Amino acid sequence: MTLNLTGLEGKVAVITGAGRMRSIGRAIATTLAKAGCDIVIIGSGRLPEHYPEEERQAGWRDIESVAEEVRALGRRALPVVSNVADLGSVKALAEQVMAEMGRVDFIVNNAGAPRAGDRVPIVDIDPAVWRKVIDINLNGSFYMSQVFGQKLIAQGEGGAIINISSIGGKLMAPTTGAYAASKAGLHALTAAMSGEVGVHGIRVNAICPGIVTTSRLDDLSAEQWQGIVDNYIPLKRAGEPTDIGAMAAFLCSDQGAWISGQLYSVDGGQLAGR
């Protein structure tokens, strides 16, 4: 007997921060597409000159490339440039999604601020850098959850909101204050909202990845990578983006239908019991 995830065929998933080649967002988009979902792929509108060298060499085209992958899997794809940290932009995005896709079922808040000047002590961090991290990681997820949550309630068919957080929001380590605060706030948003929209059949959960092989962490040296794996990860490997995509698909599926308000560490065992 084969167990397959159900309840995903023909549903519409909106995924923010899904344009990078080596990324969690791309993996969630393609995993949900393989499971039967149509996908709205949201990106920030990166300019090609800002792409990493590997993306330029591969001819990568950000959200357009992910959209092509989704269509190749036989599903509809709608790539959209939107600023999740701007409420007006999110409202316009929601109207476009409803007009072009006809419905919405799953919201995956994956967009994240880049690692740029924020890994410093609180007493030293530039307030503008702090605001940018909070605006994208926390406020952006709030705007998306509020605006699309209203659409889910009005639609009246339940649904799921998944916030892509981090074990950093549980570790709260020194020199990660802005990032940790944004992710810990996201945990509070997840828990509170789950208790508010459950009556509408809407589940709200957070996935907290550990160290995952994405371009976001390319500033770590090979020695740093190996040190983290050897010293902190019981399963002795870094995560792959598809590990997070699989968890997202499960939480959206019928098989995850009685799960809400949870903060799942997907980290190879690094934060056992948390």
Helix (H) or strand (E) holding 239: none
Amino acid at 89: S
Query: Following DSSP, what letter does each residue of 13-74 receive, concatenated?
Result: EEESS---SSSHHHHHHHHHHHTT-EEEEEE----GGGS-HHHHHHT--THHHHHHHHHHTT
Measured between alpha carbons, how far is 212 from 180 in angstroms, rounded to an integer? Answer: 17
Question: Among the options 51, 143, 179, 264, which is catalytic?
Answer: 179
Question: How are beta strands 106-109 and 38-43 bridged, if at all?
Answer: unpaired
- Among residues 248, 230, 96, the alpha carbon closest in space to that of 160 is found at 248
Name residue, tokens 């597409």.
Answer: 33
Q: Is 179 a catalytic residue?
A: yes
Q: Nearest CA to 187 among 209, 203, 164, 210?
A: 164
Nearest-angstrom CA–CA distance, 24 and 28: 6
Q: Distance between CA atoms of 163 and 81, rounded to whole angstroms?
A: 19
Catalytic residues: 179
